[in-house]
């Protein structure tokens, strides 16, 4: 969390603030979000990628929500909208083409925010390539395949017992 950061920029490209991010990148983190937390420290934010709406069920504090769009080549993502002071037990829907949102303490988003730059260490790492095993190797290693006179393929001899003929 300490190495992940979102920087805010105004229309002229000046840095006008930053947030320390908690990346909600697993099912459980996305499900729980900030539910039940008694406070949201100023300067902290929760990042939800691929998110077009949020709920505030079971929340204890209001939040500001920064909805952002697709990142430009320079790494800045446009701020599409800011939902200010979303209260507990409400829903908030992002604008069309929202790529995600940042949830921050209510009243901490500057009025002139135009774009954000998000740097994360946990979820932007390339995933290790996992090559699934060749199915033929699994079959060859684990199952004995036999052929009967009627040219049907049976597995391990049990099928011939079930069908009532011996190979």
**Cβ–Cβ < 8 Å for 95, 52:** no
What domains lie within the chain, and their CATH numbers? 5-119 (2.60.120.1140), 137-167 (no CATH)
pLDDT value of position 22? 92
Q: DSSP letters of 109-166? A: S-TT--EEEEE-SSSSSPPPP-PPPPHHHHHHHH--EEE-TT--EEETTHHHHHHT--
Mean pLDDT by 10 residues, the chain (167 residues): 79 90 91 90 93 92 95 91 94 94 93 89 49 50 52 53 56
Single pTM value for the model: 0.69
User: Per DSSP, what are the bridge partners of residue 91?
Assistant: 55
């Amino acid at each position: 969390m300490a190495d992940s950061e979102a920087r805010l920029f105004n229309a002229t490209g000046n840095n006008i603030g930053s947030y320390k991010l908690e990346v909600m990148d697993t099912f459980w983190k996305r499900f729980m979000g900030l539910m039940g937390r008694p406070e949201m420290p100023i300067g902290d934010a929760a990042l939800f990628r691929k998110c077009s709406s949020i709920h505030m069920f079971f929340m204890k504090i209001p939040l500001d929500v920064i909805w952002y769009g697709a990142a430009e080549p320079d790494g800045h993502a446009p701020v599409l909208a800011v939902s200010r002071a979303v209260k507990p037990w409400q829903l908030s829907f992002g604008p069309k083409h929202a790529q995600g949102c940042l949830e921050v303490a209510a009243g901490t988003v500057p009025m002139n925010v135009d774009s954000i730059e998000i740097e994360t260490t946990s979820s932007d790492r390339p995933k290790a390539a996992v090559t699934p095993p060749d199915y033929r190797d699994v079959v060859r290693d684990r199952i004995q395949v036999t052929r009967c006179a009627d040219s049907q393929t049976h597995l391990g001899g049990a099928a011939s017992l079930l069908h009532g003929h011996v190979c």
